[in-house]
Structure 1
């Protein structure tokens, strides 16, 4: 088999789908089809306008919650909204059968916040962006079976 390599300057969903298709088939041959990647979204709205001013955007797949975005407006920080968003997302994930959660943050963002919620760092990429770190965090959920042992 021969192939050529090209730089695609303006890629779209077609290119991503075509590239991903082979990987999806390979993975399925090893682990079976994953459970459906199901969105998990919570919004924080301004009562007067109904405008979305923050929230949590994530998904559940492979029995884990992935938190992609967590945003609490600066004026509302330290009032428990972030903690409530995470608690609601984690409970929904548990209700969906998840065993744990993972997310990423930067050293200038919210590492301490997540660690106070029981998350632990399992990977750190230093100097990304320069002068800062990119941190991978995870949390295992306690299940009734865990409590019995």
Structure 2
């Protein structure tokens, strides 16, 4: 067997590994029922000014990221995106949501929306913290 470190494995290799892990996980935890979830805010010209990317699987939503453009910050669009994602997650049968954010990003935003901290790594990145939050619906 040969071990290699690769920055960009082929799509075939990625799919084989992803699917292999999914198959194993499903034998232990039941159907993955995984699906991407995107919520996009656009201005009157159709330009994306904010967006949320998440995945739903095993009855939970994992928020990968939520971004709001500088010109749209403070307008409530972030709250609207999060609310729409949570509504869709509930419709998909999810019982909650979880995410990770950095201390310099938006932990207070999520806490304002009912999320609670369940883990933290200090000095990741240096001088800051990586914070995990969750919310049961």
Q: TM-score, normalised by structure 2?
A: 0.89
Q: Which has the larger radius of gyration?
A: 1
Contact 2:37/2:56 (<8 A) preserved: yes
Task: Give the match for residue 7 of structure 1.
Answer: 5
Task: Give the match for residue 130 of structure 2.
Answer: 134
Residue in structure 2 matching 1:41, options 38, 43, 50: 38
How far off its partner does 1:98 sit? 0.7
Question: Where do 5+ consecutive residues of structure 1 fail to align?
Answer: 142-149
Larger deviation, residues 4-13 vs 85-94: 4-13
How far off its partner does 1:21 sit? 4.0
Q: Give the 5 Å matches for 1:58-137.
A: 58-137=54-133
Task: Give the match for residue 145 of structure 1.
Answer: none
The change in CA–CA distance for 1:21 and 1:50 in structure 2 (over 3 A counts) is: closer
Distance 1:43 1:122 in 2: 28
Equivalent position SS for 2:2? coil
How many residue pairs match? The answer is 137
Equivalent position SS for 1:44? strand
How far off its partner does 1:18 sit? 2.9
Distance 1:46 1:39 in 2: 23
The change in CA–CA distance for 1:10 and 1:88 in structure 2 (over 3 A counts) is: closer
Aligned-residue RMSD, C-alpha: 1.6
The change in CA–CA distance for 1:20 and 1:50 in structure 2 (over 3 A counts) is: closer
Q: Is 1:27 matched up with 2:25?
A: yes
Q: TM-score, normalised by structure 1?
A: 0.83
Deviation above 4 Å: which 4+ runs of structure 1? Answer: none
Contact 2:50/2:78 (<8 A) preserved: no
